[in-house]
Amino acid sequence: MGDTLNAKLAQMVMVGFRGAEPDECRAFLDSLAECPIAGVWLTDNKSPMGLTHGNIRSPEQVRRLTQALQNASPTPLFIAIDAEGGQVIRLEECYGFEAFPSARELGERDDPTFTRSSAERLARLLAECGINFNFAPVLDLNKNPANPIIAGKHRAFSADTQTVARHAAIFVEAHHRAGILCAGKHFPGHGSSSTDSHHGLVDVTQTWGEDELIPYQHLIANGLLDAVLTAHVCLRQIDPDLPATLSPRVVTGLLRERLGFEGVVFTDDLNMGAIQDHYPLERAVELCVQAGADVVLHANVKHYDPDIARRTVAILRQLVESGRLTEQRIDQSNQRIAALRSRIR
């Protein structure tokens, strides 16, 4: 990309792309040398926001793709996927992968040995496929049984904070043994919502509780929280104006200063309706980085943009050049990202 600043800014971007075989995504692979992004997000063709041209067809194909991605990148990539188990796992049985129990099933059984065995098998599968980052576990509490995106998909371990914390810790430890990094989600809590942030703004002001922070506190205290994925939820008692992903009061004030989290913060997908329908891309990128996010995530599904990484870098550069972001702030994120990358095997 021509200079050190652009390279630093590219490290603050993760994107999804189209194509399952290297030859199908040659233009994207070639772009990695020019725009050395932090990582990529893999998906199948059944996103919550509609059908897409996914990256998953078979175990052998995924291995070819991840190897091609790493070969094309000048720096080791975070190759990330949603692999929670149950309904939310992009490596599905229909593509020849093993099935895994949902978080709710694990929490209801409440058998640490069973959870450990399941998580170990899942982590080994990811490692065998060349995937080094799991956007899991879900740390949300199962507070609203009618919640369409958390309870409805069996994604939370339990409504009980200790059950969530216990099984999430086992899940992460199993991944670490296999060399897989994890991101806890969706901070500061999506479990009490009644709507889905894929399709619009979600307000949990009247339903969210302080107990939703306990699983995060537990993992932080035990050094197990590699990264955090933010939620596009409004929590007006903390920030009356901005959703959590874009809020300095939530990301910096609550997560970093109050809970003491020092790792990498990823935004949830900025293409989701909760953000895209209300904030232009330039504004969303500015706000989330000012809020304290380290990596801007574009799943790139709903409205595919093959140039989204370069566009995001250009937006960030303009923010630096205008003085709305400092190079010190960029360096801060790069240091966190580099420290996390150093743990990739």
268 a catalytic residue: yes
What phi, psi does 244 have (nearest 5°)? Answer: -55, -45
Q: Which residues contact 176 (CB under 8 A, 6 or more apart)?
A: 182, 224
Supply 250's token pair.
Answer: 């939530």
23 a catalytic residue: no
Question: Which residue is catalytic, options 190, 198, 218, 298?
Answer: 198
H or E stretch including 9?
helix 4-10
Quote the CA–CA distance of 240 and 224 in Å, as a whole number: 31
Residues 265/230, Cβ–Cβ less than 8 Å: yes
DSSP 138: B
Residues 188/143, Cβ–Cβ less than 8 Å: no
Question: Which residue is catalytic, options 82, 268, 269, 294?
Answer: 268
* Amino acid letter for position 99: A
- Report the relative pairing of strands 39-42 and 46-47 from DSSP bridges: unpaired
DSSP 23: G
Q: What angle do CA 30, 337, 188 make, to 5 degrees?
A: 115
Furthest CA-CA distance within the chain = 54
**Neighbouring-strand partners of residue 177:** none
* Amino acid letter for position 146: A
Enzyme catalytic residues: 198, 268
